[in-house]
Amino acid sequence: MLTKEEELRLYEYDGSVETGRPDCVVFPGNKSEVAEIARLVNRYAVPMVGRGAGTGLSGGALAREGGVQVVFSRMNRILAVDYENQRAVVEPGVVNLELSRAVARAGLQYAPDPSSQKSCTIGGNVSENAGGPHTLRYGVTTNHILGLEVVMPDGETYRIGGAAVDAPGYDLVGLFVGSEGTLGLVVEITAKLTRLPESVKTLLAVFETTDDATETVAALTARGITPAACEMMDGWTIRVVESWIHAGLPTDAGAILLIEVDGPKEAAEEQAEAVVETCRAHKAREVRTAKDEREREALWKARKNAFGAVGRVAPDCYVQDGVIPRTRLPETLRRIAEIGKRHGFEVGNIFHAGDGNLHPMLCFDHREPGTFERAMAAASEIIALCVEMGGSITGEHGVGMEKDRLMPLLFSEADLELMKRVRGALNPAGLLNPGKLFPASKSCGEIRAPAMGRGPNELGEGVRGVTQR
């Protein structure tokens, strides 16, 4: 247990720009300790919040109202793997990639692959319903969770879901996955394991303009081709990334698509051909196929480290997370560029094109007066645009503290009320992860820019923290 100020200050941040200092941090070693902690906390009526690796991008794991932070880093054992039925039972602190690594020898993987997978925990993934580049093919976390064991705010432990895919009764697992740690603490997870594909093909398609690239994505959908992953990077981002990572990306291109197809050997090859054809039909200047695992790794490294690379060119960079229907990609990107221009920014784009999950990036230096505010204003316009396009305010980073004020953009008061009733039923005193997900007061209809008025956080880097993805 940590209570000294200098120790607590190491738990007041996560991957986001927000901060919130707990009064005490505990590291339970097993589920009965978690239950014990919950009972105590409940008795003294102090707030409590769970924390995995603290890679969250919306401040979900922060103790917004102080209280006890329950860190799951010690509960990191893989308890059982049932190879035949392709299931694993794990503690919540198991790191995403470690599970995939542990079962790789048996030709299996845990499919959801957020870009933070080398650090983030499965407990955190469950709470945020994390997705990743391969979400397009394999779905998000909720599609891979069979059962959970949860400790409720009063300290009672329940098992929900189980082995069967479609259990009778309410889908409580579905309710818990993505609840951002506001309903209960997850202490054990039964996850589905997926066969590693027999064959994987990774293609790089090069276009002169972003429009050509986004139209290709729409065309792929129209033709009924579902790649395993389909990521887009625009020209500006390509140049920034290539100057650091040297993956052989064409720096004079307008945009690239990184497309992966997988499956049985023949099917993958057939699909790859169809993808090449579609790209060519939409004015792709060049379509390359990664020759071997090394080339494939280089391409993905460029993709997964892209935000870090962007972080090197500007002191601050704010990455937004929004979703739109992919058929409206060309139009939305054009309008995002316009919004950026109006506020004096060049907007970089790198995102999960296949899902229409956008991550526009605004680069700036918060030490120049006024830029921070302009960036925030542009960011909220962009998010509003996503909603207008028929999309959502967050694709995968969650609402947390960052976007609670934006919820009314998406949901009516009645919708929010219903959600709050659910929370109220399971977390009646509201002491579990308070101050998240919902706007602070009911009348808060106005949209404030996230992090606005907060100024640069204590590391001093302004909003750059939200950049990573």
Ligand X SMILES: Cc1cc2nc3c(=O)[nH]c(=O)nc-3n(C[C@H](O)[C@H](O)[C@H](O)COP(=O)(O)OP(=O)(O)OC[C@H]3O[C@@H](n4cnc5c(N)ncnc54)[C@H](O)[C@@H]3O)c2cc1C
329-334: list long-range contacts, CB under 8 Å, 24+ apart. 329/214, 329/217, 329/218, 329/353, 329/356, 330/210, 330/211, 330/214, 330/215, 330/218, 331/389, 332/358, 332/385, 332/386, 332/389, 333/210, 333/211, 333/214, 334/211
Residue 291 interacts with, from another protein, ligand X, none (CB under 5-8 Å by kind): none
Distances (CA, A) of 94 to 75, 99, 157, 214, 330: 7, 7, 20, 37, 39
Task: Name the β-bridge partners of 69.
Answer: 25, 49
Binding status of residue 130 toward ligand X by CB under 6 A = yes
Q: Which does 4 bind (CB under 5 to 8 A by kind): another protein, ligand X, none?
A: another protein
Asked if residue 127 binds another protein (CB under 8 A), the reply is no
Contact 103, 87 (CB under 8 A): no
Q: Which two tokens stand for residue 13?
A: 């941040």
Q: Quick one: which segment of 100-108, 118-126, 295-303, 370-378 binds ligand X (CB under 6 A)?
A: 118-126
Q: Which of 78, 89, 97, 274 binds another protein (CB under 8 A)?
A: 97
Instruction: Kindly state whether residue 393 participates in binding ligand X, applying the rule CB under 6 A.
Output: no
Check binding of 10 to another protein (CB under 8 A).
yes
CA 204 to chain centre: 24
Footprint (CB under 8 A) of another protein, residues 14-53 = 14-15, 27, 53
Q: Which of residues 37-76 bind ligand X (CB under 6 A)?
A: 49-57, 60-61, 72
- Of 4 and 421, the one with the shorter C-beta distance to another protein is 4
Map tokens 């009733």 to a residue. 421
In terms of Cβ atoms closer than 10 Å to its own Cβ (0-12, 13-18, 19+), residue 443 is: exposed
- The one-character DSSP state at 400 is T
How far is CA 73 from its chain centroid?
20
Interface with another protein (CB under 8 A), residue from 33, 65, 98, 171? 98
Stretch that binds ligand X, among 122-130, 206-214, 243-251, 376-384 (CB under 6 A): 122-130
**Which CB, 210 or 357, lies closer to ligand X?**
357
Integer Cα distance of 278 and 218 in angstroms: 10
Residues that bind another protein (CB under 8 A): 4, 6-7, 9-11, 13-15, 27, 53-55, 71, 73-74, 76, 93, 95, 97-98, 101, 116, 118-120, 244, 304-305, 307-309, 311-312, 315, 459-461, 464-465, 467-468
Residues that bind ligand X (CB under 6 A): 14-15, 49-57, 60-61, 72, 92, 114-116, 120-121, 123-125, 127-128, 130-132, 180-181, 185-186, 396-398, 433, 468-469
